[in-house]
């Protein structure tokens, strides 16, 4: 397969599996969540080899170096030929869902709440 001369950044991000769909990659570019050289980019910007791309996907900020260009989505094992992941390990260790402690705790074995307990629960909520 021949390497293309140029590829749009939204298409490249989709092809190397940073975003699940190309439209999600396009929206991320439009909202300023994708930067190249610390500058937000439009979805139509062409990707160049050795570009450093920073993409915010949910809670994780991914840092990628472009090794090669491609237009079509590839398998997960082949992605390493096209993009080098420079994301620090601390980004992957961030909790995905924040921990929220329970509002109240009932002791185990206390049985069903009484009317009085239920009224107190309703006041808290």
Residue 124 domain-assigned (yes or no): no
Residue 52 domain-assigned (yes or no): yes
Is 60 exceeded by the pLDDT of residue 26?
A: yes
Residue 113 domain-assigned (yes or no): no
**Number of helices (H), then strands (E), in the chain:** 4, 5
pLDDT in tens, 49-102: 999 999 999 889 999 999 999 989 999 999 999 999 999 988 888 877 777 888
* Residue 35, H or E segment: strand 34-36
Give me the domain span that covers residue 60: 9-92
| Per-residue confidence band for 103, with pLDDT thresholds at 50, 70 and 90 | confident
CA–CA gap between residue 19 and residue 55 (Å, rounded): 10
> Which pair of structure tokens corresponds to residue 83?
């993009």
pLDDT at residue number 125: 76
Residue 73 domain-assigned (yes or no): yes
CATH assignment at residue 87: 3.10.290.10
Domain count across the chain = 1
Residue 60 domain-assigned (yes or no): yes
Residue 125 domain-assigned (yes or no): no
Residue 49 domain-assigned (yes or no): yes
């Amino acid at each position: 397969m021949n390497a293309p001369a140029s590829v749009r950044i939204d298409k490249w991000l989709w092809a190397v599996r940073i975003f699940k769909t190309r439209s999600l990659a396009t929206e991320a570019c439009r909202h300023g969540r994708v930067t190249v050289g610390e500058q937000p980019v439009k979805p139509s910007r062409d990707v160049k080899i050795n570009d450093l791309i920073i993409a915010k996907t949910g809670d994780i900020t991914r840092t990628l170096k472009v090794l090669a260009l491609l237009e079509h989505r590839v398998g997960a094992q082949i992605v390493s030929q096209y993009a080098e992941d420079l994301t620090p390990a601390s980004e992957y260790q961030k909790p995905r869902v924040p921990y929220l402690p329970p509002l109240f705790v009932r002791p185990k074995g206390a049985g069903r709440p009484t009317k009085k307990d239920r009224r107190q629960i309703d006041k808290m909520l």
